[in-house]
Copies of this chain bind each other. A is one copy, B any other.
Amino acid sequence: MKHFLNTQDWSRAELDAVLAEAARFKRRRLGDELKGRSIALVFFNASMRTRTSFELGAFQLGGHAIVLQPGKDAWPIEFDLGTVMEGETEEHIAEVARVLARYVDLIGVRAFPKFADWSVDREDRVLRSFARYATVPVINMETITHPCQELAHALALREHFGSDDLRGRKYVLTWTYHPKALNTAVANSALTIATRMGMDVTLLCPNEDYLLDERYLGWARDNVAESGGSFAVSHDIDSAYAGAHAVYAKSWGALPYFGAWEREKPMRDRYRHFIVDEAKMALTDGAVFSHCLPLRRNVKATDAVMDSPACIAVDEAENRLHVQKAVMAALVAQS
C-alpha cells in the first residue's frame, strides 16, 4: 500500500500522472472518485488553505473529510513506544491510527516540528507513526516536507511556462526574512521538486547556517543526476537572480540554531534585505514569482511583487485543491 509522505517515494511517472489528473480536475470540478469515501484530516497545527482544499476536494469527488485537532478538540496523543502513560497524553498513536483507519479511507496529517531538537524533528515521527499503524494510506499535509505544495507548485510552473517539461529553466529558491524562525518544510520541498523536474536550481541563502538538512541536499543532488538539471548553492543575491526564470521565496530558521532562536535572531535580523522586491526581480529573465502562502507582505515580498502579473502564488494555492484531489483519487484507486 502506497502512502503520500514525500514525492521522493513516488516515481516520476507516478507524479506526472497525478499532475495530469490534477489538470483534468481543474477543468472538471465534480467527480465520483471518492464517492462514499472519507478522509480524516489530523491537524496538530493551524491551517487555512490545506484544510479548505482537502475538505472541498473530498466533497467535490463525492467523499467527506473529517477535521480532527488532537489536544484541542480531541485527546492528546502519545507517540513513544513502551511509555508508562502517566503524563498528559491520554491515548497512544497505535490506537488512534488503527481506529481511524477503521473509519476512514485516507488519513491526512499536519505535524510541524516541535522546534526543540532537529535531530528528533527530522525523524518525522508523527507522520511516520501514522503510516506505521494505519491500515489505510496516509497523506503528508506538511510536516518537515510539504509534498502537496510541491505538486501545486509544479502544476503552476507548468501552466505558466505552457509546458510539462521544465528543464532548462533557471529556478531560484531564495531564503527571505521573517520575524520568527520558521519550518524548513516548504524549502525542503521546493528544492526536491524543482530538481526532480530537471530545472537549473540555485538555493540562495544568507550563509552556510541557512543550508537545508543534508537529507534534502542529497535528494537535490540525486535528482539532478537523474533528471539532467543542475543544483548550486549561492549566498550572492545578484548572481542568483540574474537570468532566473522562476523565483520561489521562503523563510526558514537556521538549523544550527534550532530551538535557540534568540541566539539566531541578531544574525537573521541582518538579512532583511533578502526581501523579494522589484529591483531583484528586474535582474531576472522576466521570472515568475511564487510563494506557498501565508506570506507577510513587505517582509518576505513587497506589495509591488505580490500584486504584479509575475506573481502566481494565488494560482499555486488554487492548485492545492486540484493536486490533492488527484492524490486522494490515486491512493483510493490502489485499494
B74 touches A47 (CB 8 A): yes
Q: Is the CB of B103 within 8 A of A52?
A: yes
**A99 to B314, Cβ gap below 8 A?**
yes
Chain B minimum-CB-distance residue to A298:
B84
Closest CB in chain B relative to A53 CB, distance in Å: 6
Known interface pairs A52-B68, A56-B66; A78-B317 also in contact (CB < 8 Å)? no
Interface residue ranges of A296-314 to B (CB < 8 Å): 296-299, 303, 306-307, 313-314
By Cβ-Cβ distance, the 10 closest A-B pairs, closest first, are: A91-B294, A85-B296, A102-B318, A48-B74, A59-B64, A84-B298, A99-B317, A90-B294, A30-B36, A98-B314
Q: Flag whether A73 is at the interface (Cβ < 8 A).
A: yes
A269 to B154, CA, bound (A): 57
Total copies of this chain within the assembly: 3
A100:B52 contact, CB within 8 angstroms: yes
Q: Specify the chain B residue showing the minimal Cβ separation from A29.
A: B36
Question: How long is the Cα–Cα vector from A81 to B302 in the complex, in angstroms?
Answer: 12
Q: Is the CB of B99 within 8 A of A293?
A: yes
Q: Are B36 and A52 in contact (CB under 8 A)?
A: no
Chain B CB within 8 A of A83 CB: yes
**Which residue of B is nearest A317, CB measured?**
B99
Q: Is the CB of A40 within 8 A of B52?
A: yes
- Indicate if A142 sits at the interface (CB-CB under 8 A): no
Q: Please judge, given known A-B contacts A74-B47, A74-B48, A74-B51, whether A56 and B38 are in contact too, CB under 8 Å.
A: yes
The answer to whether A46 and B74 touch (CB under 8 A), given A95-B295, A296-B86, is: yes
In chain A between 74 and 111, which residues have their CB closer than 8 angstroms to a CB of chain B? 74-75, 78, 81-86, 89-92, 94-96, 98-100, 102-104
- Not counting A53-B103, A95-B314, a sample of 19 additional A-B residue pairs whose C-beta atoms are within 8 angstroms of each other reads A36-B60, A46-B74, A48-B70, A48-B74, A48-B91, A49-B99, A51-B74, A52-B100, A55-B64, A56-B64, A56-B66, A69-B73, A78-B297, A81-B303, A84-B299, A86-B179, A95-B306, A102-B314, A103-B321
Residues of the B chain whose Cβ atoms lie less than 8 Å from the Cβ of A112? none
- A69-B73, A74-B47 known; A296-B90 Cβ under 8 A: yes
**Contact (A75, B40) CB under 8 Å given A104-B56, A179-B86:** no
With the chains together, A196 CA to B296 CA distance in Å?
A: 43
Q: Which residue of B lies closest to A78 (CB)?
A: B297
Q: Contact mask A23-48 → B, CB, 8 Å, 1/0?
A: 00000011000001010100100111
Complex Cα–Cα for A45 and B242 (A):
47
With a CB–CB cut-off of 8 A, which chain B residues contact A81? 303
The smallest C-beta distance from A261 to any residue of chain B, in angstroms, reads 15
B residues near A74, Cβ cutoff 8 Å:
46-48, 51
Q: Do B66 and A55 touch across chains, with their CB atoms under 8 A apart? A: yes
Instruction: Kindly identify which residue among B59, B84, B98, B299 contacts A85, using a CB–CB cutoff of 8 Å.
Output: B299
